[in-house]
Chain A
Amino acid sequence: MTPRTRALLACLVLLVLAAPLGAQSGGVLRFCLHSEPKTFDPALVDDEASENVRYLTGGVLIRLDRETQALEPALAASWKVSKDGRTITFHLRKGLYFSDGTKFTSEDVAFTIRRLMDPQMHSSTGDAFRSGEGTVEVQAPAPDVAVITFPAAVAGLERLFDQVAIISAHSPKKEMAVLGPYYVSEYKPGEYVLLRRNPNYWRHDAQGRPLPYIDTVRLDIQRNREIELLRFRRGELQMINRLDAEQFSNLQKENPGAAHNAGPGLDAEEFWFNQSPAAPAPEFRKAWFRTTEFRRAVSMAINREDLCRIVFYGYAAPAFGPVSSSNKFWFNSALPAPKHNPQEALRLLAQAGFRYDGKVLKDSSGNPVEFTIVTNSGNAAREKMATMIQQDLSQIGMRVKVVTLDFPSLIERITKTFDYDSCILGLVNTDLDPGSQMTVWLSSGENHQWNPSQKTPATAWEAEIDKLMREQASSLNEKLRKAAFDRVQQIVAEQQPFIYLVNKDVLTAVSPMVEGAAPAVLNPQVFWNIETLRLKVPENGGTE
């Protein structure tokens, strides 16, 4: 063998050896944000785009593993919650630094929490911790110990820390110095956010290699889902965080390897009748909505299987309660799941004094049953569901009109003027624990959508729900809390203040170029494990 051939062979061998390494690090991962991120300050995060950026850049004390739904230590090597549930002590990892080199100590934790809980901050993340009146005390007795004391016990305390990104108390870069896998390197408003790997990120993989594997993440700001899908097909994007059912079913046909269905999500589509006494509707109509048999009959007359099959192309499951089956701990499997049954519905209505003459349903005073459903425009799935429900209810003689409104007008009607009959909206559940939904279930709550902000409970069952919710909020025993909330779900199933429609599946798209993706049901569905994702280098080099 000539020296040249030997050298060539050596090069080849090196290339072959190096290839696995080269194919598994570096590269640019591209996917989209669906709106402009409003802030990079983790305390002020409210909208989805900002939350996604926070997830990618923020380091948290306790991380909720999206796949197992269990808590794992992150910046805190260990923690302990006191018996009364008011104090949590964190033992932090030592020797960590922010992305700009500033040392990480318990002072930063103290600074972050004090800032978060500052009432002037009006942070919704902070509000989730506010279980009672009073200030939150934070102490940093040692550089690696932080103690936080709350005025009252907080249910599900540890899990809430998954949302708290620690910022530096001293760094000149303020909130741009981060502890997460990436930091914001460039932001072009209206176009993209460019993230680069944090050289000081604390996590390493099992072999001791520093994470994340992927060097750069480019988040394009793209509102239009059709364009996003088009770009994904053309290879410009490698992941799509949430697809709608129609897009997914088309993608499934063309490229089944790229389409991932993570199973039923946590969100539910719900339909409720306006039971507020402030509604300007005529009394007889308000009386229908307050009649339990009326609501239960409507629930029975809706064909949920058809909704899942037609509106969501089969990528949804009928829902009968606020908690979806993928919420392993809080789901109540004992809830009744009534099948579509118009005859039974008519029987229930007859019990309540309604008469059906074969065409029109009339109440006991002879008024024909007519009402309107409002929903927000711009959501094709909801409009379709409303139209299908319109036909379902016409089979029991109810005449329903469907009106779509833009979001601010809709919110005004359902929270301020109460000038609506019924509404279909989605309940967005980012949290597994119902403890964060107190304002929905308490009759005095602002989000008790069918009749918000009551001075005293209007009905006996609402009073019972109040009692049960307060029980679960003050208890630290998980079993007791579950029993209480199970009973709440039972009452809701009997009374149907919210008529739950469907639980949509979590549908994502992942390019075969991406290795290691494991879409989960919890937010952020497709990139929760971004640090361990790898990009395959295409044969012609360069991933730009």
Chain B
Amino acid sequence: MSAGISRIGRRLLLMVFLSLAGGLLGATLVRYAPGYGMDERELDPRLSETTREAIRSGHQLHSGLLSYYGAWLARAAHGDLGRSEWLDRPIAGLLVERFPLTLRSVLLGVLTAWAAGVVLALASLGARAWWVDLAGTLTSGFLIALPVAVVALAAMYLRAPVFVAIAAVIFPKVFRYLRNLLVHAYEQPYVLAARARGIGHARLLLRHVLRLVGPPVAALLGVSISMAFGAAIPMEALCDSPGIGQLAWLAALNRDLPLIMNLTLVVTLLTVGANSAAELLHSEAP
């Protein structure tokens, strides 16, 4: 038991460390990528010299990157996440506004994908008709072959909310993995023996098969959440949905250093968190 707790503890520590590293990496990328510190306003012929100077110095880092990062961390510990350069608003406010939308899209998307995936996987195993399995395979094959951008465009055109697009991207992978898992599980000797003994389908599924597939399924859940967050960025950017993904894309285009630092940290935290949870659960497997 204590070994489990210390393992979880170490995992958490790793998560925190990785997230901080992620934030720093994001900051380095923005700071040293071409175009940092440039502002579209420099092309405005009305501006006076003092205004131009003010704009330029507003974009400069007045210290080294590491000390800037350290100072920001110190403030963040007190809840002050800094101010977005491009939007000129407190970042904490921006995150609070936009995060629920992305969270909703991601969770709904994962839920829909899983619901469809579970139903279809079970159906393709249970149903006598050969075409059920084929239909499932073809649909998932087709969806997986579409570039993320095309799925986003289709969702836009059909006026479907973003989570549908995210579900369309996650569903094929979930379906295939589940189907393979279930096939393997049902082929296990003792499951076969249980069936031979005449145990009903429902009991079979819930008692025996679930125990077998539980941990890898939980692991896949974690991975699909992190995949969904990854897909959310181009999806929101293309579908004009005002969530965290769109914010991240626009912040990158505008080289908004404080905002990117925050966002990379949040996204790293979420992805690593989901992956860690998946891994911890997977290692529980017998």
Contact = CB atoms under 8 A, between A and B. Distances in A.
A406 B253 contact: yes
Interface residues of A, number: 41
B87 interface: yes
Interface in B162-200: none
B240 A416 contact: no
A337 interface: no
Contacts of A436: 45-46
Contacts of A413: 34
Contacts of A437: 45
Nearest to B52: A446
A205 interface: no
B254 A439 contact: no
Interface stretch (A89-97, A220-228, A498-506, A513-521): A220-228
Interface stretch (B36-44, B140-148, B208-216): B36-44
Contact of B47 (A127, A406, A407): A127
Nearest to A128: B46
Interface in B19-40: 33-40
Contacts of B46: 124-125, 127-128, 436
Contact of B87 (A38, A221, A222, A227): A38
B6 interface: no
A408 B255 contact: yes
Contacts of B239: 224
Contacts of B98: 190
Contacts of B1: none
B97 A439 contact: no
B242 A190 contact: yes
Contacts of B35: 406-412
Contact of A227 (B48, B97, B240, B255): B240
A439 B42 CA distance: 11
Interface string A371-393: 00000000000000000000000
Given A226-B156, A437-B45, A221 B52 contact: no
A24 interface: no
A230 B39 CA distance: 32
A409 B47 CA distance: 21
A39 interface: yes
A415 B44 CA distance: 12
A494 interface: no
Contacts of A122: 50-51, 54-55
A148 to B, nearest CB: 18
Nearest to B53: A122
Nearest to B49: A446
B41 A191 contact: no
A124 B44 contact: yes
A224 B153 CA distance: 11
A410 B97 CA distance: 31
Nearest to A223: B240
B88 interface: yes
A447 interface: yes
Interface string A437-460: 111100001110000000000000
Nearest to A446: B52
A412 B240 contact: no
A438 B47 CA distance: 10
Given A122-B51, A406-B35, A46 B253 contact: no
A464 B207 CA distance: 91
Interface string A176-190: 000000000000011
Given A122-B55, A415-B38, A446-B52, A408 B45 contact: no
A122 B240 CA distance: 32
A408 B36 contact: yes
A299 B156 CA distance: 41
Contacts of A447: 43-45
A265 B221 CA distance: 54
A39 B88 contact: yes
Nearest to A119: B50
A340 interface: no
A39 to B, nearest CB: 7
A446 B50 contact: no
Contacts of A410: 35
Nearest to A39: B88
A222 B157 CA distance: 15
Given A122-B51, A224-B240, A38 B41 contact: no
Contact of B97 (A46, A130, A189, A221): A189
Contacts of A415: 38, 42-43
A124 B242 contact: no
Given A227-B240, A409-B35, A411-B40, A130 B48 contact: yes
A36 interface: yes
Contacts of A125: 46
Contacts of A191: 242
Interface string A11-51: 00000000000000000000000001011000000100000
Given A124-B46, A189-B89, A221-B242, 13 more contacts: A39-B88, A46-B41, A124-B51, A127-B48, A227-B240, A408-B254, A410-B35, A411-B35, A411-B43, A412-B34, A412-B37, A425-B43, A436-B45
Interface of A: 36, 38-39, 46, 119, 122-125, 127-128, 130, 189-191, 221-224, 226-227, 230, 406-413, 415-416, 425, 436-440, 445-447
Going nearest first, the 5 A-B pairs with the smallest beta carbon separation are: A190-B242, A408-B35, A409-B35, A411-B38, A127-B48
23 contacts: A38-B87, A39-B88, A46-B41, A46-B44, A124-B51, A189-B97, A190-B242, A191-B242, A224-B156, A224-B239, A226-B156, A227-B156, A407-B35, A407-B40, A408-B254, A409-B38, A416-B38, A439-B47, A445-B45, A446-B42, A446-B52, A447-B44, A447-B45
Interface of B: 33-48, 50-52, 54-55, 87-89, 94, 97-98, 156-157, 159, 238-240, 242, 253-255
